[in-house]
């Protein structure tokens, strides 16, 4: 039997990647208002079936983002973390959005500010637009094909892409490198990989902020060999590629998205700056 092609979902009428990217940024900034309000009122957490923590802020941010996406990209499916945890079934097709409404919930609960809102538009398995927003830091990263940006924006602020600062990954040096690593999710395999390199500095950070450090040229390598979810990495993936870097599976093969039958799991990735080594 010949496999049928995936369903083709309608494309929204906005004419440019820049317009879409600004819309994703607006959704993230709006979600930041709810997250910061709940943070100020006091955070209480429960646990999902997989034992990961979840808060009221996760749910509130996701609701805001999904409402915004329905207007920005009508008819385009949205795969959002908390909806997936609740058992929602989504048929992705060739174009869909991945949403992590609060990446780094442990950092959010701890109060260290290293949490982000991640939104990515995926086409044919590849994340092409990505927004990573850190509400507590007022720090926005955004990437579209061929261009990546950094901006300071308070939650709820207006989006004016005209004054976003262009950023780019730096070329990976021949000598010692700077590495970003997870603050809360270390694992022996990742530590062993990092140990293979001359490391000038190892910078711990929470959430998708590590992708931002790579995209703006502050680190050279961000490896994560433990299993994560597609909504954890897609926005940062788009950002790093837009900034001239690369994100692959640990074996160097392309990292693709939309694998519903695999539970949207990503079994590790390696993100490099520009001119990455041929092998790891």
pLDDT digits (tens, 9 = 90+) for 7-32: 444 444 334 799 999 999 999 999 99
Q: Report percent pLDDT > 90 for the chain.
A: 80
pLDDT value of residue 10 = 43
Query: What is the Cα–Cα distance from 221 to 8, expressed in whole angstroms?
Result: 36
Q: What is the pLDDT of residues 215-272, one digit of tens each?
A: 999 999 999 999 999 999 999 999 999 999 999 999 999 999 999 999 999 999 999 9
Instruction: Scan for tokens 């990647």, then name that residue.
Output: 17
- Final residue of a domain: which of 146, 166, 186? 166
DSSP state of 2: P
pLDDT score of 5 more than 70: no
Q: Which of 63, 77, 7, 8 is nearest to 30 (CA)?
A: 63
Is the pTM of the predicted complex or chain greater than 0.75? yes
Q: State residue 11's pLDDT score.
A: 43
Q: Which pLDDT score is estimated for 44?
A: 79
Shared domain for 150 and 210, answered yes or no, is no
pLDDT band at 102 (very low <50, low <70, confident <90, very high): very high
Contact 67, 60 (CB under 8 A): no
- Domain total in the chain: 2
| 160 or 33: which leads in pLDDT | 33
Residue 212 counted as domain residue: yes
Tens digit of each residue's pLDDT (9 = 90 or more) over 181-228: 988 777 899 999 999 999 999 999 999 999 999 999 999 999 999 999
For residue 4, tell me if it sits in a domain: no
For residue 279, being part of any structural domain is answered with no
Same-domain pairing of 38 and 158: yes
Could you tell me if 234 and 97 are in contact, meaning their C-beta atoms sit under 8 angstroms apart? Answer: no
Q: How many angstroms separate the CA atoms of 233 and 67, rounded?
A: 22
Q: pLDDT tens, 140-180?
A: 999 999 999 999 999 999 999 999 999 999 999 999 999 99
Asked if residue 257 lies in contact with residue 127, where contact means CB atoms within 8 angstroms, the answer is yes
Sign of CA dihedral 86, 234, 35, 115: positive
Domain range for 193: 177-272
Same domain, 215 and 115: no
Return the CATH number at 237: 3.40.190.80
Sheet of 199-205, strands arranged across: 199-205, 177-182, 221-224, 269-272, 246-248
């Amino acid at each position: 039997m010949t496999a049928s092609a995936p369903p083709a979902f309608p494309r929204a009428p906005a004419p440019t990647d820049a317009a879409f990217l600004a819309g994703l940024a607006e959704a993230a900034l709006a979600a930041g208002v709810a997250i910061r309000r709940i943070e100020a009122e006091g955070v209480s957490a429960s646990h999902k079936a997989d034992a990961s923590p979840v808060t009221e802020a996760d749910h509130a941010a996701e609701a805001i983002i999904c409402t915004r996406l329905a207007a920005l990209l009508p008819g385009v499916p949205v795969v959002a973390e908390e909806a997936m945890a609740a058992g929602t079934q989504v048929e992705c097709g060739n174009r869909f959005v991945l949403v992590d409404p609060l990446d780094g919930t442990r950092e959010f609960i701890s109060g260290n500010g290293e949490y982000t809102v991640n939104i990515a538009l995926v086409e044919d398995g590849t994340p092409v637009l990505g927004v990573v927003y850190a509400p507590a830091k007022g720090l926005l990263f955004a990437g579209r094909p061929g261009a990546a940006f950094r901006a300071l924006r308070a939650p709820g602020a207006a989006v004016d892409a005209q004054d976003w600062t262009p950023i780019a990954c730096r070329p990976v040096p021949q000598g010692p490198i700077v590495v970003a690593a997870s603050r809360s999710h270390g694992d022996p395999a990742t530590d062993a990989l990092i140990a293979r390199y001359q490391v000038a500095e190892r910078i711990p950070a929470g959430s998708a902020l590590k992708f931002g450090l790579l995209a703006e040229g502050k680190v050279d390598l961000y490896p994560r060999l433990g299993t994560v979810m597609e909504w954890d990495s897609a926005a940062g993936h788009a950002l790093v590629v837009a900034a001239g870097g690369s994100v692959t599976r640990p074996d160097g093969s392309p990292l693709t998205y939309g694998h519903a039958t695999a539970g949207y799991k990503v079994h590790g990735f390696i993100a490099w700056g520009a001119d990455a080594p041929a092998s790891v």
